[in-house]
Amino acid sequence: VKRIDLAIFGAAGYGGQELLRLLSAHPHFRVTAATSTRHDGRPVEEILPQLAGFYPGLRFQHPDQALPEGCAAAFLATPHGVSHRLFATLHARHPDLDLVDLSGDFRLKDPDTFYAVYGAEHHFPERARDFAYGLTETNRALVRDASFVANPGCFATGALLALAPLAEHGLLAGDVVLAQTTGSSGSGAEPQAGTHHPERAQDMRAYKVLVHQHQPEIAQELTRLGMAGMGMQEFELVMVPQSGPFVRGIFTVAHVRLPADVDAAELYARRYADEPFVRMRAGTPALRHVVRTNFCDVSVHQRGRRVVVLTAIDNLVKGMAGQAIQNLNLLFGLEETTGLWAPGANP
Amino acid sequence: VKRIDLAIFGAAGYGGQELLRLLSAHPHFRVTAATSTRHDGRPVEEILPQLAGFYPGLRFQHPDQALPEGCAAAFLATPHGVSHRLFATLHARHPDLDLVDLSGDFRLKDPDTFYAVYGAEHHFPERARDFAYGLTETNRALVRDASFVANPGCFATGALLALAPLAEHGLLAGDVVLAQTTGSSGSGAEPQAGTHHPERAQDMRAYKVLVHQHQPEIAQELTRLGMAGMGMQEFELVMVPQSGPFVRGIFTVAHVRLPADVDAAELYARRYADEPFVRMRAGTPALRHVVRTNFCDVSVHQRGRRVVVLTAIDNLVKGMAGQAIQNLNLLFGLEETTGLWAPGANP
Amino acid sequence: VKRIDLAIFGAAGYGGQELLRLLSAHPHFRVTAATSTRHDGRPVEEILPQLAGFYPGLRFQHPDQALPEGCAAAFLATPHGVSHRLFATLHARHPDLDLVDLSGDFRLKDPDTFYAVYGAEHHFPERARDFAYGLTETNRALVRDASFVANPGCFATGALLALAPLAEHGLLAGDVVLAQTTGSSGSGAEPQAGTHHPERAQDMRAYKVLVHQHQPEIAQELTRLGMAGMGMQEFELVMVPQSGPFVRGIFTVAHVRLPADVDAAELYARRYADEPFVRMRAGTPALRHVVRTNFCDVSVHQRGRRVVVLTAIDNLVKGMAGQAIQNLNLLFGLEETTGLWAPGANP
Amino acid sequence: VKRIDLAIFGAAGYGGQELLRLLSAHPHFRVTAATSTRHDGRPVEEILPQLAGFYPGLRFQHPDQALPEGCAAAFLATPHGVSHRLFATLHARHPDLDLVDLSGDFRLKDPDTFYAVYGAEHHFPERARDFAYGLTETNRALVRDASFVANPGCFATGALLALAPLAEHGLLAGDVVLAQTTGSSGSGAEPQAGTHHPERAQDMRAYKVLVHQHQPEIAQELTRLGMAGMGMQEFELVMVPQSGPFVRGIFTVAHVRLPADVDAAELYARRYADEPFVRMRAGTPALRHVVRTNFCDVSVHQRGRRVVVLTAIDNLVKGMAGQAIQNLNLLFGLEETTGLWAPGANP
């Protein structure tokens, strides 16, 4: 069996922890370095007791420390703003290192949009074009040939899988309304007001109404799909992210009024027939069936030209670490499902 | 202090339990009869231990049994299809009895719509016109003069308070998209698959996509408001109800593209300035702040002509029992807030 | 109606918020000052939006600022270590001010125990004896005559109401095992690792096994009750606090092996017959029935001399703010239940 | 790779669903029959959409229907009372079929105890002795040589792993108090009052206080371990099962007063050093770290001779389906961890 050694930067965050969890069973990838500024030098299994038994001997190292000999690829599970600086250093030191960045730093191709969205200047704007946008289902060929992958945002993953088939057929037009609800793990491992259990446990609320940072990312990719596909009409994304009282998952409701008479259910069934990680549902998807899996479950509902598409994903897996592994599988010529092919649970 | 004796039909259901809870502190209303077919003859405090200490001596009686002497009004907290038969019997026996019906039986004024929505024939379709539609904030005068009130559905309450100010100004046009998420208590006291804890506790899903029974009710009332107000444009309601993993509350996101340049926030602030139970929010509303209260918290977000309105209510209070009491207060000439004026909690 | 003006110190914490919520409906007490170092000068309704409509005009003030004229009493909802210093300042400035302290600072009568438990020296150890220990059900007479009340800890309240009847009859002996589970609101308003929603929402764990700070408080009061009652036997408290994935409530399981043949159920029924806020249950208590109320529901189970007593309280109400008001009611000669007499809900 | 064909009886229940989930990744076991009376003839992936993609072609069959050719073993994930009748039929038809029964039917070796516990007569009491009691960690040798395994109850698994090391050393004496809290999935797939989300989501309560059916099972096994070990002292189990508002997991707190001076932590560390699925914890175990895994996390706390042992398991995995597979692995001479070796998650 081929062994490919990997590093995870930001391994103590939720993205990093999920990578460690998923990779513990991967037949080819082996984690030989896990960085954490805070836990530098401490055993991974002590800081992350859920992993006890799976990473004996592995200790967190400082991100500035040299990578172990033989590291072929790295995941950057570091925050927005950190990843692109880290990339520069890493790439300079290890020009052959393949990289999957889980942050938003290399997703937006236009530096002005990046500035507007993240409120900070990008130090290597020209580099963004070297990164394949890693929504596997729409960019498989690009990812396969890439050295660098910008892994999609979690909201973007749920939204794009809901809208890509329409975009590819030039069927997005007018207002495209996205109602998306995320679980608390999307806020990361650091305790904060919005994830304080006494106030989150039975609450629901919205945030960043009409101004979420994934909106330009979604728009950019939908436009690209339209361009590459059957042409493009004018459309406007309207996005209202909501916070739900669950831990994992993003549930997406996408509303589109079709510019033409199309059987949407048929179109989606065809489009996703060979996608291993997209499952069409007769009723509606449910978060509980996809949680801790790399699946995106989808249903399509239509009344005349009005179409509603629902998707359910686990924000930390298909929306983050799972999709990152799916991309790295491709990049290394492995079967896309390697290490990820596991069903959901019901209760 | 004036004492008004009341009966509650269907008192062991969640609507009935909530009426009993709220009325325990009402200075004028006194519950002298509580019906339950299943618990006929059993002490209320034994079946509903949360109320122990508040209804000593009260026993459930059969709905067919005569009401105690002096009963001036009744709440019908009975299911759809039961209420309208019960109404006939009750009204025949007690022509002076005032009634608030919490079911959907008398909300829809058009019998054909009723048939289409509830899949059953209405036995007294002509009676629906005798019922004031009890969304207090839009129908206060009607309720005050009514003998019979059709209390709004919980989804309808959240949606209408989000859209009424626009409807009244003829500002609804085109697609009006409603993303609403309900807690599990909306499904009632009877255990069923959709409220089985192991499958609901961390789940999110949609149901009755584009076909929820409250949609015609919302459309009917919005149309009425438009007619009575500044005129009406064509609009189409698009409703996707979702189930969230919380117990109480409905969180509503309403999307409208205005047909004219209007400062929506200003319009809402003005419209709701004197409504005791509607509170405008600077950020976004949160279910946890309204749960167990009769408040509806509202926020308005605008980008050009695109408007998003958010509302948060407790489905069992403002969406059900609380609003029913608010209506009965008006009907009896009491201060609307009587017995309902209590703040929310945070955790 | 008599009006008594009050101040709340630490009013933005969970204890303080709960006092504000409960006092909004109190017919005699009026909050004229609410302190918060962090929110000094900000409107209460802006910081605590759940209270919007109930405290118009009230702004947080700095704890060092002078109290408004006419303040007759104060709640200290401040953390351990803060309260006893605050007490000294306040008492010096306002010698007539009655005080209920919600922290642990004045509960332990023995300074050495205090030091051992809280790891800090007490600056006014002699003062602890001036504070009545405010478990209303066992210390009613003391509280009535006191100027200063040390409100019990939440775990202590649940444990003592489970064990007091046995202690009073000299029936505690040998190992007294306490398994208690608390909701997340007991950790306070400040986000921290233990209340991070993604890690708390479906978790259960223990903490401070055998070393919780309420243990000496419980032992002290049980010993006092034994002394004052039918004599005392040797017993040893064994306490394992657990954290559950709910927001409010403490569920207590107390295990005792009786030193004599006694019908425990009968003893408890008699002891609590006239206690307004203690309700005996035929089955077992349930947190959902007492949440947001001042009730303690109790059940007693026996097999030979083995007795298990279960209690359920809301940690923020009977375990904190509600009991504090209950005590202040007594101290001011009001009916004990004033402002607190409200039932629970079921869902 | 060796292929062993299996049948699952009661495959649509939570035990059965969990077996299907775990076995989907097992390298040797292949499910060729899944029975369900209710879903007879329906595709497994349609009834259990979380498994879509993993059991194409498999349909539920009626339990009376003949097993497919080549079935070497079966799991009985059927309810108490059903399993032992099914066993008789199956064993008569397929004398060579190995069986793991997940119900309580063959755990108790004494028919009188069975009658007392389950309130029903056992039709094949003599058969109970042919079943190895499948707590793998204490009965590995027996299971390896068995044809029939009685898989332990979920509470029993959590309790026995907490107490076995003491029992084996004759260190149980006097009162052994068990406080155990279970998630809602332990109640099975059928909706019922106790698992109705609106009433379970934020609740905690006890049930079957002192009379849970797993108590005799725990006592039987502890006694056996004592006999087989260093001798036996008198002890009495005191068990209070509690229901928590989480889906998966059993958290156990076991209290023992040692009859001798022993370093309990050292004893446990030694006893469990080579157990693959038992992990000693420095702090306290947490359900979230073991959920969906076959691990039992354990911590030991001591004050003099007072010992508290905490264990955390997933009731559906180590407490049910996972342990059943662990046992079948042994029975077929496979590595015990086959198909089960996966870490937990944190959020």
Q: What is the pLDDT of residues A76-97, one digit of tens each?
A: 999 999 999 999 999 999 999 9
User: What DSSP line would sit under D160-206, residue for residue?
Assistant: HHHHHHHHHTT---EEEEEEEEE-GGGG-SS--GGGBHHHHTT--EE
pLDDT digits (tens, 9 = 90+) for C144-162: 999 999 999 999 999 999 9
Q: What is the mean pLDDT of residues B289-317?
A: 98
Distance from CA of B137 to the nearest CA of A (A): 23
CB pair distance less than 8 Å for A286 and B204: yes
Distance from CA of B200 to the nearest CA of C (A): 13
Contact yes or no for A176/A238 (Cβ under 8 A): yes
Higher-pLDDT residue of D129, D203: D203
Residues of chain B positioned with their CB less than 8 A from the CB of D202? 247
CB pair distance less than 8 Å for D201 and B201: yes
Strand-pairing partners, residue A253, are A179, A310
Q: What's CA C325's distance to the chain center, in Å?
A: 10
Tokens of D35: 């029975």
Q: Which of D75, D81, D83 is nearest to D322 (CA)?
A: D75
Strand-pairing partners, residue A133, are A150
The predicted structure's pLDDT at residue B316 = 98
pLDDT band at residue B213 using 50, 70 and 90 as cut-offs: confident
Distance from CA of C28 to the nearest CA of B (A): 16
Residues of chain C positioned with their CB less than 8 A from the CB of A14? 198
Q: Which of A52, A341, A343 sits opposite D50 (nearest CB)?
A: A343
Strand-pairing partners, residue D132, are D149
**Residue D205 and residue C173: Cα distance in Å, rounded?**
26
Q: Which of C189, C197, C202 sits opposite A200 (nearest CB)?
A: C197
> What is residue C44's three-state secondary structure?
helix
> What is residue A299's three-state secondary structure?
strand
Does A213 have pLDDT greater than 90?
no
Classify strands D174-182 and D250-257 as parallel, antiparallel or unpaired.
antiparallel
**C255 φ/ψ sector (left φ>0, alpha ψ -120 to 50, else beta):** beta
SS3 content of chain C, % helix, strand, coil (to 5): 35, 25, 40
Tokens of B10: 């269907």
Report yes or no: B248 at the C interface, CB cutoff 8 Å: yes
Q: Which residues of chain C fall below pLDDT 50?
A: none
Residues 6 or more apart in contact with residue D304 via CB below 8 angstroms: none
CB pair distance less than 8 Å for D198 and B247: yes
Strand-pairing partners, residue C309, are C254, C300
Report yes or no: D204 at the A interface, CB cutoff 8 Å: no
Report yes or no: C247 at the A interface, CB cutoff 8 Å: yes
Does B336 have pLDDT greater than 90?
yes
Residue D215, CA distances (Å) to A175, B114, D210 in order: 62, 55, 8
Interface size, chain A vs chain B, as Cβ–Cβ contacts under 8 Å: 139
**Residue D194 and residue D45: Cα distance in Å, rounded?**
28
Angle of the D154-168 helix axis to the D214-228 helix axis, nearest 10: 20
pLDDT digits (tens, 9 = 90+) for D58-71: 999 999 999 999 99
Residues 6 or more apart in contact with residue B254 via CB below 8 angstroms: B159, B162, B163, B176, B177, B178, B308, B309, B310, B311
The predicted structure's pLDDT at residue B306 = 96
**Residue B228 and residue B169: Cα distance in Å, rounded?**
10
Does B140 have pLDDT greater than 90?
yes
Task: Determine the Cα angle at D152 with ends D151 and D155, to 5°.
Answer: 150
Query: Phi, psi (5° rounding) for residue C8?
Result: -120, 120
What's the mean per-residue pLDDT of chain D? 95
Q: Which of D244, A188, D317 is nearest to C204 (CA)?
A: D244
Contact yes or no for A103/A80 (Cβ under 8 A): yes
pLDDT band at residue B125 using 50, 70 and 90 as cut-offs: confident
Report yes or no: A257 at the B interface, CB cutoff 8 Å: yes
Q: What's CA B285's distance to the chain center, in Å?
A: 19
Give CB contacts under 8 A, 24+ apart, made by C67-70.
C67/C7, C67/C33, C67/C94, C67/C97, C68/C5, C68/C7, C68/C32, C68/C33, C70/C5, C70/C32
pLDDT band at residue A241 using 50, 70 and 90 as cut-offs: very high
What's the mean per-residue pLDDT of chain B? 95
The predicted structure's pLDDT at residue A328 = 98
Instruction: Name chain B's partners: 3 or more CB pairs within 8 A.
Output: A, C, D
Q: What is the DSSP letter of D81?
A: T
CB pair distance less than 8 Å for B244 and A244: yes
Q: Where are the alpha helices (DSSP H) in chain D?
A: 14-23, 44-47, 83-93, 111-118, 136-145, 154-168, 197-200, 214-228, 264-272, 287-290, 322-331
In the stretch 8-37 of chain D, residues with CB closer than 8 A to chain A read 14, 17-18, 20-21, 24-25
pTM of the model: 0.97
Residue of D nearest to C206 (CA): D284
**Residue C247 and residue C253: Cα distance in Å, rounded?**
19
The predicted structure's pLDDT at residue A115 = 84
Contact yes or no for D242/C251 (Cβ under 8 A): yes
Residues of chain D positioned with their CB less than 8 A from the CB of A281? 49
Give the number of other CB atoms < 10 A from CB of residue B192: 11
**Residue B311 and residue B275: Cα distance in Å, rounded?**
15
Contact yes or no for C122/C105 (Cβ under 8 A): yes
pLDDT band at residue D227 using 50, 70 and 90 as cut-offs: confident
Query: Phi, psi (5° rounding) for residue B294?
Result: -95, 15
pLDDT band at residue A123 using 50, 70 and 90 as cut-offs: confident
Report yes or no: C101 at the B interface, CB cutoff 8 Å: no
Residues of chain D positioned with their CB less than 8 A from the CB of C215? none
Distance from CA of C67 to the nearest CA of B (A): 25
Q: In what order do the strands lie in the sheet with B148-150?
A: B60-61, B29-35, B4-9, B71-76, B98-101, B148-150, B131-133
**Residue A211 and residue B314: Cα distance in Å, rounded?**
27
Please compute, for residue A188, the number of CA atoms within 13 A of its CA located in the half-sphere on the CB side.
14
**Residue D71 and residue B101: Cα distance in Å, rounded?**
60
Tokens of B67: 């009401």
Give the number of other CB atoms < 10 A from CB of residue A317: 31
Query: Phi, psi (5° rounding) for residue D299?
Result: -135, 155
Contact yes or no for D50/D35 (Cβ under 8 A): no
Q: Where are the alpha helices (DSSP H) in D213-334?
A: 214-228, 264-272, 287-290, 322-331
Give the number of other CB atoms < 10 A from CB of residue B126: 8
Q: Which residue has the tokens 């996408």?
A: A254
pLDDT digits (tens, 9 = 90+) for B14-73: 999 999 999 999 999 999 999 999 999 999 999 999 999 999 999 999 999 999 999 999
Q: What is the ipTM of this complex?
A: 0.96
Query: Phi, psi (5° rounding) for residue A325?
Result: -70, -40
Q: Which residue has the tokens 């020209």?
A: A126
pLDDT digits (tens, 9 = 90+) for C103-156: 999 999 888 888 888 888 888 888 889 999 999 999 999 999 999 999 999 999
CB pair distance less than 8 Å for B203 and A287: yes
The predicted structure's pLDDT at residue C1 = 72
SS3 content of chain A, % helix, strand, coil (to 5): 35, 25, 40
3-state secondary structure chain B: CCCEEEEEECCCCHHHHHHHHHHCCCCCEEEEEEECCCCCCCEHHHHCHHHCCCCCCCEEECCCCCCCCCEEEEEECCCCCCHHHHHHHHHHHCCCCEEEECCCCCCCCCHHHHHHHHCCCCCCHHHHHHEEECCHHHHHHHHHHCCEEECCCHHHHHHHHHHHHHHHCCCCCEEEEEEEEECHHHHCCCCCHHHEHHHHCCCCEECCCCCCCHHHHHHHHHHHHHHHCCCCCCEEEEEEEEECCCCCCEEEEEEEECCCCCCHHHHHHHHHCCCCCEEECCCCCEHHHHCCCCCEEEEEEEECCEEEEEEEECCCHHHHHHHHHHHHHHHCCCCCCCCCCCCCCCC
Q: Which of C250, C327, C333, C254 is nearest to C19 (CA)?
A: C327
Query: Phi, psi (5° rounding) for residue D173?
Result: -160, 150
**Residue A194 and residue C195: Cα distance in Å, rounded?**
11
Report yes or no: A240 at the B interface, CB cutoff 8 Å: yes
**Residue C250 and residue C318: Cα distance in Å, rounded?**
10
Q: Which of A116-130, A202-216, A309-323, B332-346 has the lowest mean pLDDT?
A: A116-130
Contact yes or no for C317/C18 (Cβ under 8 A): yes
**Residue A320 and residue A342: Cα distance in Å, rounded?**
16
> What is residue D235's three-state secondary structure?
strand
Query: Phi, psi (5° rounding) for residue C33?
Result: -145, 135
